[in-house]
A and B are shown apart, each in its own frame.
Chain A
Amino acid sequence: AQSVTQLDSHVSVSEGTPVLLRCNYSSSYSPSLFWYVQHPNKGLQLLLKYTSAATLVKGINGFEAEFKKSETSFHLTKPSAHMSDAAEYFCVVSPRDNYGQNFVFGPGTRLSVLP
């Protein structure tokens, strides 16, 4: 079985300050992990993904995430927030070695960026 926990439903930061969005997962199989972003009234866009190579993954728009197996975490970070980063962020897990299991989505974290 798989599950995803996003520890904060809402994070608020000031423009130019660091962003940390937390994600913990549970998976019976070796996981692939993803972060997606959803801007208001839009679809979901892939930010980055981890599939077994380097544990530090770099994505679009300056975001990165680190896979920590011992902590079962995949936190998303960005050194300096921009107003355009205000959106909903979803952490997603899927099995890397068990075809047929589905993607599991976290409940989402809404990021607000204050001027």
Chain B
Amino acid sequence: NAGVTQTPKFQVLKTGQSMTLQCAQDMNHEYMSWYRQDPGMGLRLIHYSVGAGITDQGEVPNGYNVSRSTTEDFPLRLLSAAPSQTSVYFCASSESTVGNTIYFGEGSWLTVV
């Protein structure tokens, strides 16, 4: 009964370092997405995928890459971390966006110093 699992939960990076946030879901959902949450700004969509091999940009994609080689996994890569990427990141999945519930991971707290 895992749902959406994302790792790591906490990470501190130095400016310029790269890293990957992992996300996996076991519900066979087609739709997966990454959000960042900043104080007073709600959740903003970074990238999303509507199925294996298909990804697209959301509202705030700059500085991030994604890939979707399998239905289960949707990693988010920070190419060269910047202090502006200090945030809480949430991975989410859904059967589709058409009226279906979206399920969230527990979040990843990232600090870039």
Interface of A toward B, CB cutoff 8 Å: 9, 32, 34, 36, 41-46, 49, 51-52, 90, 92, 94-103, 105-108
Contact, CB under 8 Å: A42 / B107? yes
How many Å lie between the Cα of A108 and that of B22 in the bound state?
Answer: 26
Contact, CB under 8 Å: A43 / B42? no
Contact, CB under 8 Å: B43 / A90? yes
How many Å lie between the Cα of A32 and that of B105 in the bound state?
Answer: 21
Interface residues of B in 60-102 (CB under 8 A from A): 90, 94, 96-102
Interface of B toward A, CB cutoff 8 Å: 33, 35, 40-45, 48, 50, 58, 90, 94, 96-107, 109
Q: B98 to nearest A CB, angstroms?
A: 5
A44-B90, A94-B98, A107-B40 as given contacts; A102 in contact with B105, CB under 8 Å: no
Contact, CB under 8 Å: A99 / B96? yes
A42-B107, A43-B90, A92-B102 as given contacts; A102 in contact with B97, CB under 8 Å: yes
In the complex, which residues of chain A have a beta carbon less than 8 angstroms from the beta carbon of B104?
A: 36, 43-45
A107-B40, A107-B41 as given contacts; A46 in contact with B90, CB under 8 Å: no
Contact, CB under 8 Å: A99 / B101? no
- Smallest CB-CB A-B distances: 5 pairs: A32-B99, A107-B42, A44-B104, A105-B43, A43-B104
Q: B47 to nearest A CB, angstroms?
A: 11
How many Å lie between the Cα of A103 and that of B102 in the bound state?
Answer: 8
In the complex, which residues of chain B have a beta carbon less than 8 angstroms from the beta carbon of A103?
A: 33, 45, 94, 97, 102
In the complex, which residues of chain A have a beta carbon less than 8 angstroms from the beta carbon of B41?
A: 107
In the complex, which residues of chain A have a beta carbon less than 8 angstroms from the beta carbon of B100?
A: 32, 94
In the complex, which residues of chain B have a beta carbon less than 8 angstroms from the beta carbon of A45?
A: 104
Q: B31 to nearest A CB, angstroms?
A: 9
Pick from B101, B103, B109 the residue with the most CB of A within 10 Å: B101
How many Å lie between the Cα of A98 and that of B98 in the bound state?
Answer: 6
